[in-house]
Amino acid sequence: MVILTVGLNHTTAPVEIRERLHISDRQLPAVLERLGQEPAVLERMVLSTCNRVEVYAVTQDPAQAEAAIPELLAEGTQTPLALFADRLYRHHQEAAVRHAFRVAASLDSMVLGESEILGQVKTAYQVALAQEATGPILNALMTRTLGVAKKVRTETGIGESPVSVPSAAVELAKKIFGELSGRRVLILGAGEMAELAARHLRGEGVQAVLVAHRQFDRAVELAARLEGRAVRFDQIREELREADIVVSSTAAPHYLLHRADMEELIRLRRNRPLFLIDIAVPRDVDPAVNEIDNIYLYDIDDLEGVASVHRLERQQEAAHAELLIEREVASFMRWLKSLDVVPTIVTLRRRLEEIRETELAKALDRLPNLNPEQQAVVRTLAHGIINKVLHYPTTELKRQSVNRDGLLYVNVLRRLFGLQDDDR
């Protein structure tokens, strides 16, 4: 049996290809069923996210499975195979196991250490499990994969420090205010990064999100997505008096907030702290505003600096995670290799038990005067001899199976006892 992974991700394919191959929750059962119709695919699971589409499979015919899986992906997503064939990676056995562990532990993610992927892997496995698409090997792999990912997150700091500009802004806000629940956020403009920052703040429990834009309909659209409230752009002076956090991301060619205005504002606020996140280019807020007491101003470069420091910290933690994963890969491969000897041991025992029964029948026919107790003694003797004969070879075979030459021992034993064609 061979564990096989075939797929593509953000490092091998651009988003326009990934989105065409994306398999929705609604499509996934049908794709799993179609994969199950391929004779070479004995077990299967599909992981489809915005950054990757991967098929994990168990096969006895890797070449056939490798050829079939891309064709089935093309068929299931109605995407020409030629569009993505050269973007695919293929991993076998140890490389496939390592890949699964790294994916779930977010070492293979676009954002190193992000936490979402673990839940996505778990969901993909649960769907495959519910559809009876997995078997003993994939079940063991995915159970170990989820365990390794959790171990990486608890034993390293890979997910602790924010590495994006929006998440860095939230971290700084928490340092200023402590808990963010009950705080008011004012968004100026409707840029993508401003929206991301607002979403992060929403996740921390801010009380209200207000959105101001020169085009009021755009403010309404963004406010609806953020479950907030739109305000007219000419009302931002009044809203600034009540806001705790301001995220500014307009396309204005000049400063919107000047030092003199903000000095008056902080007086009206009676020195209540105000956190300004200026992620506009060119900047929306006069840098001199940062000199005013109780106003905390950070621009895009400040936030990027914080995020880059944290990225370095995550990379250092990732090195520890890689070592942990290598140990877990070695452990899983020892288990996987041990499976190779089980059919041989079963076949060998069956062969010897058949010989025992045949020879016992001959012997007992020649000893017709034995009573039932005496016959039982003879049978026990024969059974004991078989167990004694098998004990050391099977123990040694299991021990050697985890070594590099383990398969050689299996093949030699099968040849010596004539078991090559005896897989009844």
Residue linked to tokens 């705790």: 244
Q: Which residues of 391-423 are buried (b: 16+ CB within 10 A; e: fewer)?
A: eebbeebbebbbeeebeebbeebbeeeebeeee
- Rounded Cα distance between 116 and 114, Å, is 6
Q: Evaluate whether 341 touches 406 at the Cβ level (below 8 Å).
A: yes
Active site residue 330: no
Give the containing element (helix H, strand E) for 6: strand 2-9
Whether the CB-CB separation of 238 and 206 falls below 8 Å is answered with no
Of 122, 98, 131, 101, nearest in space to 28 by CA: 131
71, 262, 400 from 334: Cα distances, Å: 33, 66, 10
Q: Out of 50, 220, 339, 346, pick the active-site residue.
A: 50
- Pair 50, 110: CB distance under 8 Å: no
Q: Looking at the annotation, which residues are catalytic?
A: 50
